[in-house]
Amino acid sequence: MCFTMRTGVCSPPRMRRPAHIPRSTCRRPAAWCVALPLFLFLTALPGAPGAVAPAAARQAGAPGPSSSDTLTSPPVLANLSGKPGVVELRLTAAPARLELVPGKPTDAFAFNGTVPGPTIELREGDSVIIHFRNELPEPTTVHWHGLHLPAGADGSPLHPVPPGGSQDYVFNVGPGTAGTYWYHPHPDRTTTEQVAKGLFGALIIRAAHDPLAGIPDRLLILSDNRFRPDGSVDMPEPTSLAAQYDAENGREGNVLLVNGRAMPTLSIRRGELQRWRIINASAARVYRLAIPGEKLIHVGSDSGLFEHPREVDDLLLANSERVEVLVRGTGEPGRRTVLQSLPYDRYDPHTRPPDWNQPRDLLELRTSSDPPVSGLSVPATLRAIPAIDTTEIAERRVIVFSQGLINGKAMDMHRVDISARLDTTEIWQIENVVGMDHPFHLHGFRFQVLDRDGVPEPYVSWKDSVNVPKHGVVRIVVRFEDYAGKWMFHCHILDHEDMGMMGILEVR
Ligand code: C2O
Ligand code: CU
Ligand code: CU
């Protein structure tokens, strides 16, 4: 299928590899890549592991963000309930005129008037009710990405909220689900545009007993965008070449933002440990995160902490994935290091942006002149994660990702693609048969990765999204617990999702 079918232009790159052509030599019509306009403002980027020495200590009197920091966090959404264990929130999506880039007002869409939207803070065991109001001129939903909740509260495209409409999202926060999540709209076919206009925010679930309590948290929501000279969000004309690139690569922007700000600064004391919760809220950009010259201590992924920390040089963060890392302050006061996104080739060669191989700066980390902190170490064990029992597998399924299609089909809201039984365990083998990466995401149920290209996953973790590299195969195991209903599974490149690279799982 041709990705630009809906635009009516058709000489787009076709990504499906004909069966007789070996993977490495898959060739495509070259004509339009000759015209590959170097001016395309699509920029791009970003593609590892070890162990950390044990011990334990608490960072007593850990400093909050310094006043010179330009990294700011979105406001935390106020809880209207006074009852313990009950969280009642109000969230409104509405048009807003905001300075998304300095000095240029943008006609944006915002949750409660801010981009990113307010941060939702929950605790394991909470009963949650979120009163949502849609003041946008179009239908929307709020999807709580990664949460395990009733299907009717999932904010999937099956439950649109009309303009002027309201919906209460009601759910409980399960034990053992502490982690970093996020929320975003999920309307039928218009998710890319609504997210580009500013609708996304973080959701953090805190643990009853957090092994890293005492280490200060920093939230880093990564997004990218493209603006016209007048400050408006640049969505391409449907028939333009830029639209074809977006359809193929997913929409990337040349402006990279952390919590809505380009290249903010953050300070850290010598010896201090900070816990960074990083969310990839970009429609299509994949980040290969590194602080050159420093190690990152990778402590968690989509749905919370690992069993043990791992020391790494860099971390791949595909669309909608999250990581938790510990960063340590090093060097003399005034030392500056940069959190970067290193080159990572997720692209098909024919639509790969010309500057894909350039590192991009995200945030500057400064060692402050405050007195150093000493004696801090990282606990060797964070929590126990039992591996999902695979002795009884109800179904083994193969999910084939081709360009824009899943198992050869485009999304149909009235079709059920996979039927599964409640309280059973399944293994899904996700095969990407084309020459660009597609990140897989499943709603409602977190899973564990078994292996990637046959290589067993070296550690157990809870995931809801996993990148499936070009021509790669990832196997996951998932248990369908608690909630019957219809759930989406899809590629989390938002343009691909909008164009139908999505299917429906019904759990009964
Ligand atoms: Cu982040 Cu179907 O969603
Ligand atoms: Cu989701
Ligand atoms: Cu995709």
Q: 10: pLDDT confidence band, cut at 50, 70 and 90? A: very low
Q: Which ligand is nearest to the CA of 444?
A: 2
Q: State in Å: Cα 400 to ligand 3 middle.
A: 11
In this structure, the number of other CB atoms found within 10 A of the CB of residue 415 comes to 10
Instruction: Report pLDDT for 375.
Output: 81
ω before 343 within 30° of 0 (cis)?
Answer: no
Atom number in ligand 1 closest to CA 320:
1
Contact in structure between 440 and 468 (CB atoms under 8 Å): yes
Rounded to the nearest angstrom, the distance between the alpha carbon of 262 and the centre of ligand 2 is 26
Dump pLDDT digits (tens) for 106-127: 999 999 999 999 999 999 999 9
496 lines ligand 1 (CB under 6 A): no
Query: Would residue 259 be called left, alpha or beta, if left means φ above 0 and alpha means ψ between -120 and 50 degrees?
Result: left
pTM: 0.89
Distance 408 CA to ligand 1 centre (A): 21
**186 within ligand 1 shell (Cβ under 6 A):** yes
197 lines ligand 1 (CB under 6 A): no
Q: What is the CA radius of gyration of the chain?
A: 22
Q: Are 297 and 325 in contact (CB under 8 A)?
A: yes
Report the half-sphere exposure of 404 (CA within 13 A, side-chain side).
21
Cα 346 to chain centroid, rounded? 16
Q: 261-306: per-residue pLDDT in tens? A: 999 999 999 999 999 999 999 999 999 999 999 999 999 999 999 9
- Summarize pLDDT for 446-465 with one digit per residue, the tens: 999 999 999 999 999 999 99
Whose CA is closest to atom 1 on ligand 1? 145
Residue 490 in contact with ligand 1 by CB distance below 6 A? yes
Q: What pLDDT score does 231 carry?
A: 96
Q: Can you tell me the distance from the alpha carbon of 140 to that of 241, in angstroms, rounded to the nearest whole number? A: 28
What does the DSSP 8-state code read for residue 372?
A: P
Token look-up 């293994």 returns: 427
Report d(CA 445, CA 154) in Å as an integer: 11
pLDDT of residue 327: 97
Report the C-alpha gap between 418 and 507 in whole angstroms.
8
Residue type, 447: F
C-alpha 323/C-alpha 218 separation (Å) is: 12
Confidence of residue 63 (pLDDT cuts 50, 70, 90): low
Atom of ligand 1 nearest to the CA of 488: 2
| Closest residue by CA, ligand 1 atom 3 | 145
